[in-house]
Amino acid sequence: MSENRKNEGANDKPAAAAANKPTRAVVKKPTGDVVVQFRLNAKNLFCTWPQTALPKENAFKQLKTILGVYGIKYLLVCQERHEEEGLHLHAVAILDKKVNFKDCRCLDLSTDWISRDIHGQYQAARAIRDAIAYCKKKDNWLEEGESPAIQAKKKGKALKDLLLAKTIEEAIDDGELSPYHIKMATILKQTIALERSESQQRQKPTVNWFWGPTGSGKTRKAVELSGDYWMSNENLKWFDGYNGQKVAILDDLRVDSCPWGFLLRLLDRYKLRVPVKGGYVAWTPDIIIVTAPALPETMFVNHTNGEVWDKIEQLKRRIDVTEEFEKPPEKPEEKEEKPTKEEATWDEESLSPRRRKMELEELEDDACSWIAGRIAMMIEDGEIPLKDPEEKEEKQEKIEKPSMAEAKKTEEDKFIEPFKLAKKSED
């Protein structure tokens, strides 16, 4: 291998870094009988042809011919001059279909359109935007098609125009916004809201400070006074869900809920962006309701000596209304009142005939139930013998039905009886 070929990798390090590492193998020109395995399977390609004076226009036409069957979405060819190795060609191609080249001369160029005598390095470009930026660092380049940056810009503008006209929910219902773009749409919506809010002069919000023990109804009262409101979570680190509501409820505020300076900014009139997952939104409520366990001068004290913090006046100046809530007294347990002796005594004479009859029927039912239960217990304990009803029926049948011999004898007696009587009369 010549000295120039050894230096080729060193001089092309920026291009290799821009295109990232190849997916399968680095292309090397075979020497002698040495066989180098090669495979290029990708849609985005980054190519380099070192030490060639082939005009970029010529290279551009040849690449369009070679890659045309794969559908060229974007093609960029540039020519640059290295201080030591002279002219180089670089190309970036974005295709509709993947190439699957196994020949290391697959993208070789030709000085005469026949010989294909200009060999290069061909690899998959992962960081396609970095590769394009590297090729465009100087003005000596040609391109055809829309680059990814332009496509992204157009999509972003179309999405922004859509969100200016409709809400995210309406766009999804109308089929104009896929779930894949919801996150992007949310970020754009936040950006639009920021632009609108920052262009408007904000007035000082009305700050209400509701304080009292847990369970005194502070949060319930705040919600009742609000229409479309936003309520904070455990702390004020994230403001997820806030998208410009006019009423904000800072629920159950504690000393460690947020830094002191940030709390003062939340309650002030000046422009402020609050963090949400994935970005920021403008903080623009007209009414802020704070629910807390105590007054500011009670909460923000020096726990060492019990003195009120010297900056507490900054917070008190921002509060317009202070309202105390007391926990409602607990209801006494209701005790079951037992009837008096007079109420428990049944006065039969004071009852109407119909009521007296009903009471007697209930007593009879109770008595029958008690007797039946008592009999069942006595049978179970063996105090009352339990007779087999089948055995009783068999005995009755034996008594009622005579045997065959007895029946036959009875018939004979009936037949002979007249003769016996006749004989007696003769005698």
On whether both 76 and 183 belong to a single domain, the answer is no
pLDDT band for position 68 (cuts 50, 70, 90):
very high
Q: What is the pLDDT of residue 273?
A: 87
Q: What is the pLDDT of residue 57?
A: 94
Q: What is the CATH number of the domain that holds 90?
A: 3.40.1310.20
Identify whether the C-beta of residue 238 lies closer than 8 Å to the C-beta of residue 208: no
On whether both 28 and 160 belong to a single domain, the answer is no
Q: What is the pLDDT of residue 30?
A: 47
Judge residue 240's burial from the number of C-beta atoms within 10 Å of its C-beta, 0-12 exposed, 13-18 middle, 19 or more buried. Answer: middle
Report the percent of the chain where pLDDT is more than 90. Answer: 33
Question: How many domains are contained in the chain?
Answer: 3
- Of 324, 354, 369, which one is at a domain's C-terminal end? 324
Q: What is the pLDDT of residue 21?
A: 43
On whether both 231 and 254 belong to a single domain, the answer is yes
What lies within 8 Å, CB to CB, of 164 at 6+ separation is 192
Amino acid making up residue 80: E
Whether 391 is in a domain gets the answer no
pLDDT band for position 11 (cuts 50, 70, 90):
very low
Q: What is the pLDDT of residue 420?
A: 66
On whether both 117 and 158 belong to a single domain, the answer is no
Rg (CA), the chain: 51
Q: Tell me the per-residue pLDDT of 358-378, one tens digit each, with 9 for 90 and over.
A: 777 777 777 778 788 777 787
Structural domain harbouring 105: 3-145
What lies within 8 Å, CB to CB, of 106 at 6+ separation is 40, 66, 99, 122
On whether both 44 and 69 belong to a single domain, the answer is yes
Cα separation, 158 vs 164, in Å, equals 10
pLDDT band for position 97 (cuts 50, 70, 90):
very high
Looking at residue 104, what DSSP letter applies?
T
On whether both 140 and 169 belong to a single domain, the answer is no
Q: What is the pLDDT of residue 18?
A: 45
Report the percent of the chain where pLDDT is more than 70. Answer: 67
On whether both 52 and 85 belong to a single domain, the answer is yes
On whether both 10 and 102 belong to a single domain, the answer is yes
Q: What is the pLDDT of residue 394?
A: 56
Which is higher by pLDDT, 133 or 33?
A: 133
Least confident of 16-20, 347-351, 367-371, 394-398: 16-20
What lies within 8 Å, CB to CB, of 223 at 6+ separation is 229, 231, 249
On whether both 112 and 23 belong to a single domain, the answer is yes
Q: What is the pLDDT of residue 312?
A: 86
On whether both 217 and 300 belong to a single domain, the answer is yes
Q: What is the pLDDT of residue 227?
A: 84
Looking at residue 331, what DSSP letter applies?
P
Q: What is the CATH number of the domain that holds 219?
A: 3.40.50.300
On whether both 100 and 188 belong to a single domain, the answer is no
Amino acid making up residue 419: F
Q: What is the pLDDT of residue 427?
A: 57
* Residue 380 pLDDT exceeds 70: yes
Amino acid making up residue 84: E
- Of 272, 300, 324, which one is at a domain's C-terminal end? 324
The beta-strand segments (E) located in 283-375 are 287-292, 321-324
Asked whether the whole model's pTM tops 0.85, one would answer no
Cα separation, 215 vs 323, in Å, equals 15
